Amino acid sequence: MCDFQHWLQTLKREPEIGALPIGDSERSEPLSRLLDIATAIGEEKEFSAEDRSSYLRYDAIRYQQSYTIPLLIREGKLLSQRSKEKSGLFSSKPLKHS
């Protein structure tokens, strides 16, 4: 099972997040752009206005899916934890803004 699929299964096992009535594609599709951005940040590429817009769209989508702020934080922590375990995806270096 790929890391993303493992993360998705972990997410679905979280009682509050897993109880949200949304399918796997609805859970994962908004995240694909954020993962691209996170990878770029890890590679020390610039953080663009389009990237910032993607974060805002992600929040809006999750809000429509009944995510609360604590659930967004939990989802992010699970992704961060998984990424650090497997690839060191997130960098501790400051973001470069364009």
Asked whether residue 64 is assigned to any structural domain, the reply reads yes
Name the domain count of the chain. Answer: 1
In a domain, 77, yes or no: yes
Q: Specify the pTM.
A: 0.66
The partner residues of 47 in beta bridges, in order of sequence, read 97
Q: Is residue 9 part of a domain?
A: no
- State the pLDDT at residue 95: 43
3-state helix/strand/coil string of 37-94? HHHHHHCCCCECHHHHHHHHHHHHHHHHCCCCHHHHHHHHHHHHHHHHHHCCCCCCCC
**How far apart, in whole angstroms, are the C-alpha atoms of residue 95 and residue 65?**
29
| pLDDT of res. 36 | 75
In a domain, 21, yes or no: no
Domain that holds residue 77: 32-37+46-89
Q: Which residue has the tokens 């599709």?
A: 29
Q: What is the pLDDT of residues 8-67, one digit of tens each?
A: 888 889 999 999 999 988 888 877 777 777 777 778 777 778 877 877 888 888 899 999
84 in a structural domain = yes
